[in-house]
Structure 1
Amino acid sequence: MTAEAVIVTMTPPSLPDWVFPPPQGFVAEDLDHLPDLPAHTELIDGSLVFVSPQRHFHQMVIRRLCNALDEFVPTGHAVAQEMTIKLGPRQRPEPDIIILGPNATITSGVTCFDAADVVLVVEVVSIESELRDRFRKPALYAEAGIPHFWRIEEINEKPAVFVYELDPATKSYVPAGVCHDWLKRTVPFDIDIDLSTLYMPGTR
């Protein structure tokens, strides 16, 4: 008997459309229609940006800060977590926290908000996203006219809040202080938060 060679042909799996971006890049509306996009996909400069798994510090600070801000936001305002903002045709980033003003349209089916409706954006810096969180995304938020931006960094296993306000003449953010122990502000509304309550090593 002679052994016959057996040739097995493998059909490569089909790839989703978003693996191959269009020549002009994606637009903001594409995030609502591209099938099987990973959760929390952002659009920055026409390119899709995918999010790595969150560290415990990142997840804990976001959750607890949202709860704390709920106690201070004025009537008509709202706190939103991990929702995208349409800043322009090719820009739709997803901040960690958004404070919406009273003119925002909030329905069960909304998938993003307009920059004009946003009062404050908060980014909790992660290792894989630190360049975007520190530089590119704040520049986009400022260009879109969002008046307040906070960047939260982990320093010595504690959250530090870097506060910025928009200079309307330059459409760029100017530093307004760094909060290490207490986040005490009068704009965009009165806020008084003990930062040690947001994260302590070993807590759940």
Structure 2
Amino acid sequence: MAIRQHHTELVPSNDKRLPETARELFDALPELPGFRADVVEGNLIVSPVGTPEHASCAMRLLRALIPVQDREGWEAWTGNVDVCVEGPREPVEPDFVLAPPDCPRWGDRELRSSGLIMVAEVVSAGSTLRDRVEKPPLYATGGVPIYLLIDLLAEPPSVTAYSEPRDGAYLASGTVPVGSPLRLPSPIDVELDTSVFKV
């Protein structure tokens, strides 16, 4: 019912064509304060933004990587930039994005996945399947060099760095319990102190 309501608001009165795909519906969505929208495996997923603790985790990652950003001249965002996953052209809004300032875009709004350095997701109760299972092959398909999974809901809480994307999969990964150092591979090439994620 909500989608029908959105359709009537999103389609101009002189154009009766309704969005036919999740991508078209995403493109037609107005700003949704308090919500984030992703398209994963052809499905439009609209979910509330995370809790303050969730956002704090992404901010801690941002702060931990400031020396790398300064050294390389890279830009970083926490949950407020859209990424176009090249190949399926699926738009997602990662919890954290690291990219060079000249990262190519899809239109005006979305960064192209193949131009990124790293994306990170912070697992929440409503995103466990997406972040743990669906997002790794999606980001690998899009050519994102590093996918960082911060999983404080795992037992024990852990952080995983996926790298070497090829043919829709990451060929390398490393997982450590929160509190242990984790090597972020090239092009970042730095040891991340995961104790910053302890709550």
The normalised TM-score by structure 2 is: 0.75
Structure 1 equivalent of residue 43 of structure 2: 47
Structure 2 equivalent of residue 17 of structure 1: 7
Over 3 Å counting, the alpha-carbon distance change for 1:179 and 1:128 in structure 2 is: same
Residue 90 of structure 1: CA displacement? 4.8
Structure 1 equivalent of residue 13 of structure 2: none
Gaps of 5+ in 2: 11-16
Over 3 Å counting, the alpha-carbon distance change for 1:101 and 1:19 in structure 2 is: same
Does the 8 Å CA contact 2:39/2:45 hold for their aligned counterparts?
yes
The normalised TM-score by structure 1 is: 0.74
Residue 23 of structure 1: CA displacement? 6.8
Structure 2 equivalent of residue 37 of structure 1: 32
Does the 8 Å CA contact 1:52/1:128 hold for their aligned counterparts?
no
Give secondary structure in 2 for the equivalent of 1:133. Answer: helix
Select the residue among 143, 146, 149 that pairs with 1:145. 143
Radius of gyration: which is bigger?
1
Residue 167 of structure 1: CA displacement? 4.1
CA distance in 2, matches of 1:56, 1:134: 21
Task: After TM superposition, list the pairs within 5 Å mapping 1:62-141 onto structure 2.
Answer: 62-73=58-69, 74-82=71-79, 83-88=81-86, 90-104=89-103, 110-141=108-139
Residue 159 of structure 1: CA displacement? 5.0
Over 3 Å counting, the alpha-carbon distance change for 1:36 and 1:102 in structure 2 is: closer
Structure 2 equivalent of residue 187 of structure 1: 186
Higher share of residues assigned helix: 2
CA distance in 2, matches of 1:63, 1:130: 20
Share of identical aligned residues, percent? 27
Does the 8 Å CA contact 1:158/1:199 hold for their aligned counterparts?
no
Structure 1 equivalent of residue 56 of structure 2: 60
Over 3 Å counting, the alpha-carbon distance change for 1:52 and 1:150 in structure 2 is: same
Gaps of 5+ in 1: 1-13
Over 3 Å counting, the alpha-carbon distance change for 1:93 and 1:59 in structure 2 is: same
CA distance in 2, matches of 1:19, 1:199: 43
Equivalent AA in structure 1 for residue 161 of structure 2: V
Structure 1 equivalent of residue 198 of structure 2: 199
Residue 53 of structure 1: CA displacement? 4.6
Over 3 Å counting, the alpha-carbon distance change for 1:117 and 1:63 in structure 2 is: same
Q: Which moved more, 1:52-61 or 1:131-140?
A: 52-61
Over 3 Å counting, the alpha-carbon distance change for 1:100 and 1:195 in structure 2 is: same
RMSD, aligned CA: 3.2
CA distance in 2, matches of 1:165, 1:95: 16
Superimposed CA distance per residue, residues 140-186 of structure 1 (whole angstroms, 9 cap, x where no aligned partner): 11111112111111158985211111243x33113431133223334
Count of residues in correspondence between the two structures: 183
